[in-house]
């Protein structure tokens, strides 16, 4: 992990601007998202399949802290340096951090599930983190390589079934819009495999989830959303 910081008194106006993108290990995609981070004024970006050289995530300006597991990272969080954090989980496929802003506690998780590997161990690891932080605001963004009608119009698979079972067990909310543009779009086809899941965040707080169609130089599209807040109160459950 690079540039680790520890503090609790981050200050922000009344919202966090967040994003998710699979970089497909591409240098060009990394250079493009560097520009998008600043242009869209993102505070936090969950990255999957980052561009890696000699075991380190490469790229991004010094205005952002890169949080990842050194070696062969497949998930990372890119955080504006105006914010400090406490690490919860730093592993190859899951990065989880505690971010306290204006006295409000958030758990942000970036996760990658390889399409060629068993999805169950990743879900077990993810579920353990969720259970420990049951009462926190939780935002989970990642490439799950899983298909289900709950978040996409495409065919369904067993990985999607397993993910939906996790959603039900942990009382998570699926923030994806099934009518959105595909999150994955290439010559090989289109899919909706990049997801944003939340817990304890109501519809008045989570806003503007969008799949952008700008060029990313990746075969995935950038997703952005906002989390707004006024008070340090745990919001009511969604209805």
36: β partners: none
pLDDT of residue 230: 58
Please report the pLDDT score of residue 5 as a whole number: 33
Look at residue 13 in the predicted model and tell me its pLDDT. Answer: 61
Angle between helix 158-169 and helix 120-132 axes, rounded to 10 deg:
10
Phi and psi torsions of 78, nearest 5°: -110, 115
The length of the chain in residues reads 239
Can you give the pLDDT at residue 69? 98
pLDDT score, position 157: 95
For position 24, what pLDDT does the model report? 95
Q: What pLDDT sits at residue 107? A: 97
The predicted pLDDT at position 189 comes to 85
For residue 115, count other CB atoms closer than 10 A to its CB.
Answer: 12
pLDDT recorded at residue 9: 42
Nearest C-alpha neighbor of 163 from the set 182, 178, 148: 148
- What is the pLDDT, as a whole number, of residue 122? 97
In the predicted model, residues of the chain with pLDDT beneath 50 are 1-9, 231-233, 235-239
The pLDDT assigned to 127 comes to 98
What are the residue ranges spanned by the domains of the chain? Answer: 15-228
Provide the whole-model pTM: 0.91
Q: What is the CATH number of domain 15-228?
A: 3.60.10.10
93-100 contacts at long range (C-beta below 8 A, 24 or more positions apart) = 93/122, 93/125, 94/122, 94/125, 94/126, 94/129, 95/46, 95/67, 95/68, 95/69, 96/129, 97/67, 98/136, 99/10, 99/44, 100/8, 100/9, 100/10
Tell me which residue of 106, 114, 111 sits closest to 127, measured CA to CA: 111
């Amino acid at each position: 992990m690079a540039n680790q910081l520890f503090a609790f008194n981050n200050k922000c106006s009344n919202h966090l601007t967040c994003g998710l993108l699979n970089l497909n290990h591409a240098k060009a995609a990394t250079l493009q998202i560097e520009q998008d981070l600043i242009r869209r004024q993102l505070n936090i970006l969950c990255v999957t399949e980052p561009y890696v050289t000699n075991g380190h995530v490469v790229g991004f300006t010094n205005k952002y802290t890169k949080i990842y597991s050194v070696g062969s990272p497949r998930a990372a969080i890119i955080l504006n340096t105006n914010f400090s954090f406490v690490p919860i989980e730093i592993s190859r496929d899951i990065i989880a951090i505690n971010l306290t802003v204006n006295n409000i506690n958030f758990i942000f998780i970036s996760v990658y599930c390889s399409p060629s590997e068993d999805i169950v161990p990743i879900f077990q690891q993810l579920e353990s983190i969720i259970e420990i932080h049951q009462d926190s605001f939780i935002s989970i963004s990642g490439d799950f390589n899983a298909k289900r009608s709950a978040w996409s119009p495409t065919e369904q698979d067993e990985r999607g079934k397993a993910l939906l079972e996790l959603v039900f067990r942990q009382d998570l909310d699926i923030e994806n819009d099934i009518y959105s543009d595909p999150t994955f779009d290439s010559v090989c086809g289109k899919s909706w495999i990049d997801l944003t899941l939340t817990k304890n965040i109501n519809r008045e707080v989570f806003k503007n989830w969008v799949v952008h169609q700008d060029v990313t130089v990746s075969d995935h599209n950038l997703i952005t959303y906002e989390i707004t807040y006024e008070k340090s109160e745990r919001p009511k459950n969604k209805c």
